[in-house]
Structure 1
Amino acid sequence: MDKERVVEIFKKTNVLQEGHFKLTSGKHSKQYLQCAQVLQYPEYTQELCDELGKRFEDKEIDLVIAPAIGGIIISYAVGTALGKKAVFAERKEGVMKLRRGFTIPKGAKVLVVEDVTTTGGSVREVIDVVEENGGEVIGVGILVDRSGGEIDFGVQKEALLTLEVEAYDPEECPLCKEGAEITKPGSRT
C-alpha cells in the first residue's frame, strides 16, 4: 500500500479535520486527524491494518496491544491480520494499565499499535505496561505519525502516513490569541 492509497482512504472517510483543537498531548493545532472516522468502515480499517501487519510479518509476534480508546479497533484488526491475540491497555485514575483480565505472558513478543501519535506519550505508556508485565516490545505500528517521523521508540516503527502538522504550546497558540473556540476531540479526559 502506498501513501496515496492511505490519503485516498482518509479523504473518503473525513479523517483530516480543520479548526482549533486541543490534542491529547496538551498542545493545540489547526488540524486534527480523527482516525475514528475511518474505523467506522470495516473494509478500510482492515485494509490499513493488513498493511501495518505486513510491515511486521518478518518479526516473531505473540501479542498485539494498543492504548484505549483510539487503538482498540486497530489492535483487533492488526491482530486479525497477523492471526495473533489482541488486547488493549487503559487508564485507571490517570495511569495506563492492563485491566479486564488481560495479561501479557512473560517473554511475549509484543507489537504496540496506535491510531495517531503526536508526541508518542500514549505509546510510551503502553510500552511501559508491556515491560512491567515481562513482555518485550518488538515494534510500534501507527496509522498516522504527526511528528514528521521524529518520534523514536527504540524499536522498529512503521507509520502508514507521516505528517508534520503544526502543534503549539497553549501559551503560544495563535488560535487562542485570536479567541477561536477550542475543541478537545481526543479520548483522554
Structure 2
Amino acid sequence: MNENEILAMYEDAGALLNGHFILSSGRHSARYLQSALVLMNIDNATALAAELITKVDADQVDMVVSPAIGGLVIGQEVARQLHKPFIFTERKEGEMQMRRGFSIPEGARLLVVEDVITTGGSVRECMAVVREHGGEPVKVLAVVDRAPDVDGRFDVPFATAISLSVETYAADACPMCSEGLLPAIKPGSRGSA
C-alpha cells in the first residue's frame, strides 16, 4: 500500500479536513486528520495494520500498547495481526495511566501504536507509563506522521505508513487566529493541552 492509496482512504472517508483546528497538543492547524472515520471501516483498519506490521519484527515484541483514544482501533488491529496481547493507557484527571486491571510482565517488550502523531506527546506519556510498570517500549508505529521534519520525538525507533507535512502553529502565533478568518474548532478526542 502506498502513500497515495492511504491518503485516498482518508479522502474517501471524509477524514482529511480543511479549516481551523486546535490539535490535542494545543497547536493550531489548517488541516486535520480524523482517523476514526477511516478506521470505522474494518477493511481500512485491516489494510493499515497490515502495512504497519511490515515495519516491525514480531519476534522482538511481546505486547502492543496504545494511548487512548486515537490509537485504540489501530493498536488493537496491529496486535491481532501480530497475535500479541493488547493493552492501552488512558488519561484520568489529565494524567496518562494504566488502568482496567492491565499489567505488564517485568521486562516485556512493547510496541507502541498510534493513529496520528504530531508532537508525539501522547506517545511519550504512554511510553513513560509502560516504563513505570516494568515494560520496555521497543518501537513506535503510527498510521500518519503529521510532522516528518521533527526529529528526536522518541528514544526508540519510529515508523509510519504515511508522512504528511502539515504546518502547525502555537496558539499565540496562529495566522488564522490573527486574521480572524475561521473560528478554531477542536474535533479530536480530548481537550487541548
Specify the TM-score bucket, using the shorter chain as the normaliser.
Answer: over 0.9
Looking at structure 1, the residues matched to 134 and 111 of structure 2 have their Cα atoms a distance apart, in angstroms, of: 14
Matched with 1:171 is 172
- Whether the 8 Å contact between 1:64 and 1:112 is mirrored in structure 2 is yes
Looking at structure 2, the residues matched to 23 and 117 of structure 1 have their Cα atoms a distance apart, in angstroms, of: 11
Q: 1:59 to 1:157 in 2, by over 3 A?
A: farther
Residue 65 of structure 1 and its aligned partner are, at CA, apart by 0.5
Matched with 1:74 is 74
Matched with 1:162 is 163
Name the amino acid aligned to 1:6.
Answer: I
Q: Return 144-153 or 129-138, whichever deviates more.
A: 144-153
SS of residue in 2 equivalent to 1:144? strand
Deviation string, structure 1 residues 34-60 (Cα, Å, up to 9, x no partner)? 111101100011110111112113551
Residue 182 of structure 1 and its aligned partner are, at CA, apart by 1.1
- Whether the 8 Å contact between 2:58 and 2:82 is mirrored in structure 1 is no
Residue 75 of structure 1 and its aligned partner are, at CA, apart by 1.2
Q: Percent identity?
A: 45
SS of residue in 2 equivalent to 1:90? strand
Residue 178 of structure 1 and its aligned partner are, at CA, apart by 2.1
Q: Return 120-129 or 175-184, whichever deviates more.
A: 175-184
Please list every run of 5 or more consecutive structure 1 residues that lacks an aligned counterpart in the other structure.
none
Residue 4 of structure 1 and its aligned partner are, at CA, apart by 2.1
Q: Is 1:105 the counterpart of 2:105 in the alignment?
A: yes
Name the amino acid aligned to 1:166.
Answer: E
SS of residue in 2 equivalent to 1:50? helix
Looking at structure 2, the residues matched to 14 and 83 of structure 1 have their Cα atoms a distance apart, in angstroms, of: 31
- Whether the 8 Å contact between 1:145 and 1:159 is mirrored in structure 2 is yes
SS of residue in 2 equivalent to 1:38? helix
Please list every run of 5 or more consecutive structure 2 residues that lacks an aligned counterpart in the other structure.
none
SS of residue in 1 equivalent to 2:89? strand
Matched with 2:188 is 186
Residue 151 of structure 1 and its aligned partner are, at CA, apart by 4.1
**TM alignment of 1:1-189, pairs within 5 A:** 1-57=1-57, 59-152=59-152, 153-179=154-180, 180-189=182-191
SS of residue in 2 equivalent to 1:49? helix
Q: 1:151 to 1:99 in 2, by over 3 A?
A: farther
**RMSD of equivalent CA atoms:** 1.2
